[in-house]
């Protein structure tokens, strides 16, 4: 039996690790993970890579080495098609930076295919956004922003040293969800660190961060009280928060709103809305929703093909909310984790001839971290109301624990403890900010 998993994000890597240990390493199945990149970073941490707080080279998980130790195989490749009758997927040709071919276009057969492709930012078709904004959907995009941020701070420090003119570095972030809010705070931490590491002319008033949200509040998934607290904290840090503000056009160094307001910017980040990649819309004749997600059965098999599973942000899975309304399972890391666990169980059940299990989403709450300043969140399971609002040190510890749980799923207890210890040591021996 050959199991092909496309996408090495949180859900895909956890699934490959689980199946590799329980099937691949024991010779019961051939487990193959495919991804266009060579390394993995937990996607909720990409804003830290973008600000320089996290070094992607040092903290990333290499797919090939991880596959070697966990009983599965890794191949680099980009999915471009599927032949469901022949049960093969097509992979695009792979080229290096000089345009020379590394691997030709090729096919990969499967008995069971798992699509864990994730999501990308939704530009909603707004003119100029794709050309002039930076997205944070991948390690490469986060690195691009980080390099530009470093260069902009160096230029700013140079200009401030030469003249008395008080100019600013203007960063505009569109999207008041977790990514936009967390990146806003991380930029102020980065400003402090750059001043510590020699850019002495740059002070707090020289950084202007504008956060633009089309809706009436930040972090709509959280309570109104927490949303208001986050709003207040960002304002105190110096963020220019703009609610109920809709962008209609993007230019090279500016954004224009519906009422004609112009936001000048040295750097523009688009973090508003998510959707599954556009190529899934016509992928093998499979049914999708408006967000390009593949519609799945309760077993997470895609509708119309029992040999294909989908999980994570690319899976359109319906659930019944607490109010009885039918909604989609939200595109969160905890959703991908829960789906990966169920798909692993169902594939093992198929191997053993056992009945499949239905997916039931459990909401464990939401957390948002404002860098080292503070954190806020909502944990499900409160005694009286069913949820518990947390903030400060407790929320920060809960936020960090989410990442540790992901590491636990792919590394196990012993290695996760070593990684956590290594992180503590690195806080003393490595710079607090990536400076190059």
Q: Is 251 exposed, middle or buried (0-12, 13-18, 19+ CB in 10 A)?
A: middle
**Residue given tokens 């390009």 in the structure block:** 292
| pLDDT surpassing 90 at residue 248 | yes
Q: Which two tokens stand for residue 432?
A: 């607090």
- H/E run at residue 351: helix 333-352
Q: Is 111 exposed, middle or buried (0-12, 13-18, 19+ CB in 10 A)?
A: middle
Beta bridge partners of 4: 32, 113
Give the separation between CA 335 and CA 311, rounded to whole angstroms: 8
Q: Which two tokens stand for residue 402?
A: 């989410």
| pLDDT surpassing 50 at residue 269 | yes
Q: Is 129-270 a CATH 3.40.640.10 domain?
A: no
Q: Is the dihedral of CA 318, 305, 335, 339 positive or negative?
A: positive
| pLDDT surpassing 50 at residue 90 | yes
| pLDDT surpassing 80 at residue 385 | no
From 62-71, 154-163, 313-322, 382-391, the region with the lowest mean pLDDT: 382-391
Of all residues in the chain, the percent with pLDDT exceeding 90 is: 70
Topology match between the domains 2-119+276-352 and 129-270: yes
Q: Which two tokens stand for residue 89?
A: 């997927």
Give the separation between CA 268 and CA 145, rounded to whole angstroms: 9
Give the separation between CA 368 and CA 222, rounded to whole angstroms: 9
Question: At the top level of CATH, which class does the domain 2-119+276-352 belong to?
Answer: alpha beta
| pLDDT surpassing 70 at residue 160 | yes
Q: Which residues of 59-79 are buried (b: 16+ CB within 10 A; e: fewer)?
A: bbbebeebbeebbbbbbbbbb
Q: Is 208 exposed, middle or buried (0-12, 13-18, 19+ CB in 10 A)?
A: middle
Q: State the pLDDT confidence band at 386, using cuts at 50, 70 and 90.
A: low
Average pLDDT over residues 153-157: 90
Instruction: Determine how many CB atoms are found less than 10 A away from the CB of residue 261.
Output: 12
Q: What is the pLDDT of residues 283-330, one digit of tens each?
A: 999 999 999 999 999 999 999 999 999 999 999 999 987 677 888 999
Max mean pLDDT range (154-158, 191-195, 300-304, 424-428):
300-304
Q: Is 187 exposed, middle or buried (0-12, 13-18, 19+ CB in 10 A)?
A: buried
**Residue given tokens 């496309």 in the structure block:** 6
Whether the Cβ atoms of residue 309 and residue 112 lie closer than 8 Å to each other: yes
Q: What is the pLDDT of residues 44-64, one digit of tens each?
A: 999 999 998 888 888 899 999
Helix, strand, or coil (residue 208): strand
Give the separation between CA 151 and CA 235, rounded to whole angstroms: 26
* DSSP, residue by residue, 110-168: -SEEEE----EE--TT-BTHHHH-EE-SSHHHHHHHHHHHHHHHHHHHHHHHH-S----
CB under 8 Å to 199, separation ≥6 — which residues?
Answer: 153, 154, 156, 157
Whether the Cβ atoms of residue 59 and residue 32 lie closer than 8 Å to each other: no
Selected residue with higher pLDDT from 377 and 310: 310
HEC string of 212-248 equals ECCCCCCCCCCCHHHHHHHHHHHHHHCCEEECCCCEE
Average pLDDT over residues 216-239: 90
Q: State the pLDDT confidence band at 118, using cuts at 50, 70 and 90.
A: very high
The pLDDT value given to residue 428: 82
Q: Which two tokens stand for residue 79?
A: 């999915």
Please state the domain extents for the chain: 2-119+276-352, 129-270, 365-429
| pLDDT surpassing 70 at residue 258 | yes
- H/E run at residue 315: strand 315-316
3-state percent helix, strand, coil for the chain, nearest multiple of 5: 40, 25, 35
Q: State the pLDDT confidence band at 384, using cuts at 50, 70 and 90.
A: very low
Choose among 43, 69, 55: nearest CA to 402.
43
The pLDDT value given to residue 317: 95
At CA 42, angle to CA 292 and CA 31, rounded to 5?
75
Strands 267-270 and 134-135: parallel
- Alpha helices for 20-111 (secondary structure H): 46-51, 56-59, 63-70
Selected residue with higher pLDDT from 197 and 175: 175
The pLDDT value given to residue 289: 94
| pLDDT surpassing 60 at residue 71 | yes
The pLDDT value given to residue 177: 92
The pLDDT value given to residue 55: 86
| pLDDT surpassing 80 at residue 434 | no
Q: State the pLDDT confidence band at 381, using cuts at 50, 70 and 90.
A: low
The pLDDT value given to residue 321: 73
CB under 8 Å to 382, separation ≥6 — which residues?
Answer: 388
Of all residues in the chain, the percent with pLDDT exceeding 70 is: 97
The pLDDT value given to residue 69: 95
* Interhelix angle 333-352/393-411, nearest 10 degrees: 30
State the chain's mean pLDDT as an integer.
Answer: 91
């Amino acid at each position: 039996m050959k199991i092909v998993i496309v996408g090495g994000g949180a859900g895909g890597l956890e699934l490959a690790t689980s199946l590799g240990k329980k099937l691949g390493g024991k010779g019961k199945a051939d487990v193959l993970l495919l991804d266009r990149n060579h390394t993995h970073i937990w996607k909720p941490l990409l804003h830290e890579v973008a600000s320089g707080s996290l070094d992607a080279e040092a903290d990333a998980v290499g797919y090939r080495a991880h596959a070697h130790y966990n009983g599965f195989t890794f191949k680099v490749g980009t999915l471009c098609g599927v032949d469901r009758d022949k049960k093969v997927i097509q992979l695009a040709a792979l080229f290096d930076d000089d345009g020379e071919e590394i691997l030709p276009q090729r096919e990969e057969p499967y008995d069971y295919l798992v699509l864990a492709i994730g999501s990308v930012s939704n530009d909603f078709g707004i003119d100029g956004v794709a050309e002039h904004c930076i997205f944070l959907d991948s390690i490469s995009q986060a690195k691009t922003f980080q390099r530009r941020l470093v260069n902009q701070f160096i230029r700013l420090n140079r200009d401030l040293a030469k003249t008395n003119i008080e100019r600013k570095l203007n960063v505009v972030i569109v999207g008041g969800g977790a990514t936009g809010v967390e990146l806003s705070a991380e930029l102020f931490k980065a400003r402090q660190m750059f001043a510590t590491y020699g850019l002495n002319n740059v002070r707090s008033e020289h950084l202007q961060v504008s956060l633009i949200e089309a809706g009436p509040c930040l972090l709509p998934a959280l309570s109104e009280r927490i949303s208001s607290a986050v709003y207040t904290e960002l304002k105190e840090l110096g963020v220019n928060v703009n609610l109920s503000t809709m962008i209609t056009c993007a230019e090279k160094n500016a954004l224009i709103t519906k009422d004609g307001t112009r936001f000048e910017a040295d750097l523009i980040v688009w973090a508003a809305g998510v959707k599954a990649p556009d190529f899934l819309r016509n992928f093998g004749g499979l049914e999708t929703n408006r967000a390009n997600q593949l519609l799945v059965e309760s077993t997470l098999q895609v509708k119309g093909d029992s040999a294909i599973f989908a999980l994570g942000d690319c899976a359109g899975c319906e659930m019944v909310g607490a109010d009885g309304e039918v909604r989609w399972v939200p595109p969160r890391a905890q959703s991908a984790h829960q789906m990966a666990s169920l798909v692993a169980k169902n594939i093992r059940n198929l191997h053993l001839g056992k009945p499949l299990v239905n997916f039931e989403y459990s909401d464990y709450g939401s957390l948002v971290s404002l860098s080292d300043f503070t954190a806020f969140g909502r944990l499900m399971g409160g005694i009286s109301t069913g949820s518990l609002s947390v903030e400060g040190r407790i929320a920060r510890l809960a936020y960090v624990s989410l990442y540790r749980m992901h590491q636990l799923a792919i590394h196990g207890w012993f290695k996760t403890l070593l990684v956590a210890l290594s992180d503590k040591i690195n806080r003393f021996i490595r710079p607090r900010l990536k400076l190059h």
